[in-house]
Structures are given as structure tokens and as C-alpha cells.
Structure 1
């Protein structure tokens, strides 16, 4: 179970930050439906070849400053 919750607005900001960090990703590859954070984590793990701990840490870091320009 993911240790965060996302709204459509914060999910979009997290998505933008991941797209900046991993330029090979395409926005259509990162779908999000509210309440399905676990699916987002799993998909990002597959796309970035990273483990769950790293992906969740990166998402939490993005959520700490959603309006900032840094990941």
C-alpha cells in the first residue's frame, strides 16, 4: 500500500516532475486515477527500473513542494 494520497492536481504535478527527471517517459505512460496510488507506484517502478522505496521517496519529495521546480 502506498504511503501517500494524491488528488488529480497533485498527481499532475508529480507527473510533471517525473517527466522532467526521466525524459524518456511519455505523459500517456503515467495514467492516474484517484484512489489508485498503488497502481501509479507499480507503473513508475516498471518505467524507471527503480524499487518501491525509491519511487515512494521521490513522490513524497515531489509532494513536499508541489509548486517548486525541483524534484
Structure 2
């Protein structure tokens, strides 16, 4: 075997290994992005529910105040 053939095979093998590592990194990156998006969606839902609850409480308190003021007028 010629030295050139050995070098060529080593380069091919190295290229294959690099490509394999790239594919694994892309897969991991995709999984991380998916998990991050899912976590962000959960946090968003929690915030929206909390704000909705706070809004309902404010609405209820305002209604109570309004009724109290109406009773005072009567």
C-alpha cells in the first residue's frame, strides 16, 4: 500500500467521524431547543393563568366597591 492511500483513508475516516459528530450535535441541539420551547410554553401558561386570576380578583373587588357605593347612595 502506498503512503498516499493510507493518508487518503485516514482523511476519509476523519471526515466520516467529523460528520457523525456534527449529526449528533445537530440532534442534541434540536432536542435542547424543543425542551426550551416546551418549558417556555409552560411558564407562559402559568403567567397567563396568574394574570387572569388577578384580573378576576380586581374585577370582583371593583364590583363589590361599586355595590357598596350604590348602597350608600340609597
TM-score (norm 2): 0.23
Higher RCO (CA < 8 A, seq sep 6+): 1
